[in-house]
Structure 1
Amino acid sequence: MTTARTTRPGAAHRLAALVEDALGGPLPLRLRAWDGSETGPADGPMVVVRSRRALRRLLWQPGELGLAQAYVTGELDVEGDLADGLRRMWAAARERRLHPPRAGLGDRARAVGTAVRLGAVGPCPAAPASQARLRGGLHSKSRDRAAISHHYDLSNDFYRLLLDETMAYSCGVWTGEGAGASAVGAQRAKLELICRKLNLTSGARLLDIGCGWGSLTLYAAERHKAQVTAVTLAQEQAAYVRGQVRERGLEHRVEVICQDYRDITGGDYDAVSTVEMGEHVGDTEYPAFAAALHRLVRPRGRVLVQQMSRGRNAPGGGAFIEGYIAPDMHMRPLGETVQLLEDAGLEVRHVESLREHYVRTVTAWERTLEERWDDFTALVGEETARVWRLYLVGGALAFEQRRMGVDQILGVRPTGEGVSGMPATPREWYEQLDRP
């Protein structure tokens, strides 16, 4: 790899020396500072530090959160392919064994010294407006409501722009390749697969916990004639689903409830689904959540959990995701979730990884964001649009590189005699899935 440097040392060189010392290796990307100076590899994307304020943020918030704050405010930018830039950073971390920026006393002293010489010392900048600000005890009902609202109540108009006509905000199942494959087709295939796994038939009672904008609820009611109780904590989502229920004439089949899963009463459902909601439950609360799934379904009834996971040594969400996208979320390795579901009395009968499918799903959302960038910025502002660009690009890479995964876990509540009612083989789940 060639390296080009300017003849006049400037802010970029001082910043590069500081970063290389913190990382324990050479810069994997080119760097340009606010004074126009550049350094680092001549090829590939370029990190642009537009103002001293970005450096000040990193002094106060070293690591991922400070970098994210600087990026979403535009104080730091990437010229070129952001995904390529992040991919190069991760590759360098693996191949050169770079480590996350240290924050020891010596490192801080050197950073402060560099900041003084660059005129970047000052009070801690205020957190961007798009950063979550939650109060109350972790996973109290009021705090969980605020955490869900931060992300899902952004506005229904925003999600209409981002998602396809199904309004499914979860991993699709891509059954085709090439020009014939589409995001809406992948979502419909996913919805059909879930309905088949749950063995939904006419009149079957489905409880959809964390129903989102109702993609599964509406599909199960329309296509499989199920009686669906849809539960969400997000007011915007509940209003949208109720509107769709009225518009499609499904009032006799669908009930929409805006409440916490801990407040769900009743039971004896034929099937329970929870699609990418379990990540929001929390670590210590998950055993009670799994027990609720078991309590709410009848004997021989099925439970489908579609949930994100993390690699054994991966952090899961991380500071940026938890600060801007999904506050208080918790991801665990797949095996731990399976164990918790079985500890609650469910028998896990089938587990399917959709990790590569999520790469394609998130990439499709990011492509929509870029194609409609002006519409998104007009609707929510450039800062929030940049939050979502970083989130989607980084998320696709996390799934690509196995730092995160997503799985469908199918469980059943056996009778006291151990009868599950499950088929001998799951072949019918996949027959003609691309033509539901």
Structure 2
Amino acid sequence: MTREHGAAQQLTTLLEQFLGGPLPVRLCAWDGSEAGPQDAPLVVLRSRRALRRLLWQPGELGLAQAYITGEIDLEGDLGDALRTMWGAARERGLHAPKPSTADRLRAAGSAVRLGAIGPRPPAPASEARLGGKLHSKSRDRAAISHHYDLSNDFYRLLLDETMAYSCGYWTSEEESYGPADSQRDKLELICRKLGLEPGMRLLDVGCGWGSLSLYAAEHHKVQVTGVTLSREQRDFVRTRIRERGLEDLVTVELSDYRDLADGGYDAVSTVEMGEHVGDAEYPAFAATLHRMLRPGGRVLVQQMSRGSNAPGGGAFIESYIAPDMHMRPLGDTVSLLERAGLEVRGVEAMREHYVRTIRAWHRTLEDHWDEFIAMVGEETARVWRLYLVGGALAFEESRMGVDQIVAVRPSDAGMSNMPATPRAWYREEA
């Protein structure tokens, strides 16, 4: 058998028949055979188990599972490979031929010859396994715990010293300007958009590891209440509050947004938390933001979005990273906030900023690969590699977006207390 024959050639012939065109990648099979374009990304199938998994779970999720378990690998740049495969899928999605009964029978015969027929492989251990009613309080706690309680040490290694796990705001191209600088610039931008002044009260809904809560207290001297569903995050923030002597300015609680009772805040922030709320539950979430504010108070929502016809999170993200996540087009979120009684006063798109942010996280992952494996295991490390590379590509290709939305709760007389222009939101160029 030559390297241009065998399992790889059979697979290439079969896949091209179903795709309706040349395979966009080169295949290397478990028997050492290769087939496909010489200059294309190389996909390595390490066992027949990968084919069996794809037969049972065709599409994105099956491919992701095979990669996570190491049954499939890619040589070279993973981002280039995903970009190539996604581009081919986009081009051929509307033109792929519909297989006939004879085609399906031939495919079944090829699957038998390749040894792909067999019992369904178990899902990787890192897959989320949630029970209970969708977006019940207990299920939401479990969904948040799956992702954010991986361990504080993991996120401390992945992120910069700000511990901000959200899109940065990159204001410089200087080589010395890095991820931590972009996060501090993002935090300052949020504080300015909220018009924070000493003595004001800020509610930080979904406060994460406290980056905004601590920054607002330290730099703008406001009273901050942070809420999170993650015990790991709460404990981390409380430690940092004590270390920085901010006990009089910052409190953090383990609480669901649906349990918030107090109101009258001067400002409310929610940074990349709204994606976890759910579709049917978002009107109530928006109403809570409105209820927490005093008349004239501002809210800033930083939230990921997806196009009306473009897939966003997808099956892999929802199964391994953010269970029950829901994203919608930006305009739909703006409408929901307005229906809750908030007046939207500014929207800023930050999609390209997220490409840079995620790529910085990915560089850290690769630079400390052995440390991450020792900490969480190779399977989880591969989940995060696929998540970060795929996420950066989704923002790059505008399949996902992220935006900052500033809104105000007008007084009964319609007063907003907003500045005439947003110039105060941005630092003046030197």
Shorter chain as denominator, the TM-score bin is over 0.9
Paired residue secondary structure (1:420): coil
174-183 or 152-161, which moves further after superposition?
Answer: 174-183
Paired residue secondary structure (2:175): helix
Paired residue secondary structure (1:409): strand
Superposed CA offset, 1:271-312 (max 9, x none): 000000000000000000000000001100000000000012
- For residues 177-256 of structure 1, the aligned pairs below 5 Å read 177-256=173-252
Other-structure match for 2:407: 411
Which one of the candidate residues 302, 306, 311 is aligned to 1:306?
302
Structure-2 separation of matches of 1:140 and 1:153: 19
Paired residue secondary structure (1:352): strand
| Residues 233 and 258 in structure 1, CA contact (< 8 A), matched pair in contact too | yes
| Residues 355 and 405 in structure 1, CA contact (< 8 A), matched pair in contact too | yes
Other-structure match for 1:290: 286
In structure 2, what residue type is equivalent to 1:53?
A: R
Structure-2 separation of matches of 1:103 and 1:277: 42
Paired residue secondary structure (2:9): helix
Structure-2 separation of matches of 1:185 and 1:239: 25
Which one of the candidate residues 57, 64, 88 is aligned to 1:92?
88
Question: Structure 1 residue 47 and structure 2 residue 62: aligned?
Answer: no
Superposed CA offset, 1:415-435 (max 9, x none): 01110000000011112489x
Other-structure match for 1:318: 314
Which one of the candidate residues 121, 130, 133 is aligned to 2:117?
121
Other-structure match for 1:339: 335
Superposed CA offset, 1:373-420 (max 9, x none): 011011001100000000000000000000000000000000011100
Structure-2 separation of matches of 1:398 and 1:77: 20
In structure 2, what residue type is equivalent to 1:284?
A: A
Matched positions, count: 430
Q: Aligned pair in 2 of structure 1 residues 101, 390: CA closer, same or farther (>3 Å)?
A: farther
Structure-2 separation of matches of 1:304 and 1:93: 36
Q: Aligned pair in 2 of structure 1 residues 433, 172: CA closer, same or farther (>3 Å)?
A: farther
In structure 1, what residue type is equivalent to 2:214?
A: L
Which one of the candidate residues 258, 261, 269 is aligned to 1:262?
258
Structure-2 separation of matches of 1:58 and 1:99: 22
Structure-2 separation of matches of 1:101 and 1:258: 52
| Residues 173 and 357 in structure 1, CA contact (< 8 A), matched pair in contact too | yes
Other-structure match for 1:28: 24
Cα offset for 1:259? Answer: 1.2
Structure-2 separation of matches of 1:65 and 1:354: 28
| Residues 32 and 38 in structure 1, CA contact (< 8 A), matched pair in contact too | yes
Could you state the TM-score of these two structures normalised by the residue count of structure 1?
0.95
Other-structure match for 2:55: 59
In structure 1, what residue type is equivalent to 2:217?
A: A
| Residues 169 and 212 in structure 1, CA contact (< 8 A), matched pair in contact too | yes
Cα offset for 1:21? Answer: 2.6
Structure-2 separation of matches of 1:221 and 1:364: 27
Cα offset for 1:114? Answer: 2.1
Paired residue secondary structure (1:69): helix
In structure 2, what residue type is equivalent to 1:48?
A: V
Identity of aligned residues (%): 73
- Any stretches of 5+ residues in structure 1 without a counterpart? none
Could you state the TM-score of these two structures normalised by the residue count of structure 2?
0.97
Cα offset for 1:185? Answer: 0.4
Structure-2 separation of matches of 1:191 and 1:180: 19
Paired residue secondary structure (2:161): coil
Other-structure match for 2:373: 377
Q: Aligned pair in 2 of structure 1 residues 102, 299: CA closer, same or farther (>3 Å)?
A: farther
Superposed CA offset, 1:143-177 (max 9, x none): 10000000000000000110000000000000001
Which one of the candidate residues 155, 163, 179 is aligned to 1:159?
155
- For residues 72-91 of structure 1, the aligned pairs below 5 Å read 72-91=68-87
Q: Aligned pair in 2 of structure 1 residues 262, 103: CA closer, same or farther (>3 Å)?
A: farther
